[in-house]
Amino acid sequence: MDRETLTKALEYADLASYQADAYLTLLEMGVSPAIEVGRESAVPVSQVYDVLRSLESKGYVETIEREKLYVQPCDPEAAMADLETRGELLHEAAEAVRERYRTPERMDARVGVTKRVKTAVENAQELIDDAETVVEVAGSFEQLQSLSPALRAARERGVVVRASVYIDQGEEPPAAFDPSGVLSELRVCTIPGPFLVVIDRNRTCFGPNTRSDEDYGVLVYDRILPFVFHWFFLTCLWNPYRVVYLDDEDQFTYVTIEEFIRDLLPLWERGFELGVTVEGVDIAEGDETTVEGSVADISFYGDERPPSRLALSDLGAYKNLTLDTGDETAVVGGWGAVFEDMEIRTITLERIDIGETPLTHERRD
C-alpha cells in the first residue's frame, strides 16, 4: 500500500491529516528528535509538539524526555487492533445498510415496495433458499442467470423449478446459460414481460422489466396475492409457450391440479387407471401428508358438459380428485382447498394401467 493510500486509511481511523503524516514519518525514521519529525514531515514545526503529544494520547507514539524531546513509535499491536475493530465494525455496518436497503421497512404489512427491480431479484435469491416445494420464475436470461445458484440448491433439495424466459424471435440463449441441474422445465416467452417469482404459494417477488414509467419491485408475503400472480404466470407466461428443456426426473410431476386434470382427464374418461402419489397438507390437521392411490373420480365446475379438450380457464372454479387408496378414499383439492381432505403440493403420475377401456372391450369381443 502506498503512502497516500495508507494516510487516507489512518484518517478513516480518526487521525487528523497532520497526525497521520507525522506517524508515518516517524515509522520510517525510528526514534528521533521531535523537531526532526517536523522537518521531515508536512507538519509545521510550530505544531509538531502538539501533534506528537496527541498521537501519544492515542497510543501511537511515546515521547522521551532527554536534553530535548525525542519520540518513538509504540508497538502497533494495540493501535492496530483498534483499527481492525473499526474496520470490522464498518464492514458490518455496510452489510447492515445493504440488508436494510433490500428489505422493506415493514415486512409485517405483507406487501413491501422497493425502489428497484434489482432489489426484487436480490430478495428472490434469499427467498428461494427457503423454498420447499415449487418455484415459478419468469425473467430475462440475465435475471435467471443471477438466480441460478439459489435455483440449483433448490433443485438439489427436490424443489420443482419452472421457468419462463423472455426471448426475442431468433435470439439464442447465452453460452453460459445451462438449465440442467438448475431448472425442472424451461419455456420461452416471445413477449417481453415482468420479472416474477412465486415461491411455495406464499411468497412473491415482482418487478416490471418493460413498459413502466418507474423502476420498482414488489415483495409479497401472503397466501392470497401469490395466487393471483401464480395464475398470471400460468396463463400468460407459461401455458401458451413451447417447452425447450425438461428434466426427466420431473416430467410426470405436476404442481397444479389444473394441469393434471387438463392433461389426464381424456385418459381417465376412456377407462385408463391412473396411479398417483399426492403430497400435500391435511386440511383438518394442518400437517403435511402423502397419499398413494388410483384416481377414482375427477370433478370440476362444468364437468356435466360434453367432453372436449379442456383449457386451464375451464378449471378456474372448483375442482378435485377422489383417490382410492385401497382402504379408503381421499378427496384432494388444489391451491386454497377448503372442503376437501387435503390440499395438494405435488401430484406425481406413477403408472397408467389399461383398465376398462374401449381397447380392452375390443379384445374381449
Higher-confidence residue of 83 and 52: namely 52
Q: Which domains does the chain have, with CATH numbers?
A: 3-78 (1.10.10.10), 107-249 (3.30.870.10), 253-364 (2.30.30.690)
* Residue 127, number of CB atoms within 10 A of its CB: 19
Q: What is the mean pLDDT of residues 176-203?
A: 91
Q: What is the pLDDT of residue 305?
A: 72
**pLDDT tens digits along 151-188:** 999 999 999 999 999 987 777 777 778 899 999 999 99
Which of 27-41, 87-101, 155-169 is predicted least confidently? 87-101
* Statement: the pTM of the whole predicted model exceeds 0.85: no
- State the sign of the Cα–Cα–Cα–Cα dihedral 90, 147, 105, 336: negative
Residue 202 predicted with pLDDT over 70 = yes
Highest-confidence segment of 27-31, 128-132, 172-176: 128-132
Using CA atoms in the order 6, 11, 15, 18, what is the torsion angle rounded to 10 degrees? 80
Higher-confidence residue of 264 and 9: namely 264
Residue 86 identity (one-letter amino acid):
R
208, three cell numbers: 416490471
346, three cell numbers: 405435488
Which of 106-115, 183-192, 319-328 is predicted least confidently? 106-115
Residue 365 predicted with pLDDT over 50 = no
Q: What is the 3-state secondary structure (H, E, C) of 83-148?
A: HHHHHHHHHHHHHHHHHHHHCCCCHHHCEEEECCHHHHHHHHHHHHCCCCCEEEEEECHHHHHHHH
Residue 14 predicted with pLDDT over 70 = yes
DSSP per-residue codes, 215-232: --EEEEESSSHHHHHHHH
Distant-in-sequence, close-in-space partners of 157: CB < 8 Å, separation ≥ 6: 131, 132
Alpha carbon 241 to chain centroid distance? 24
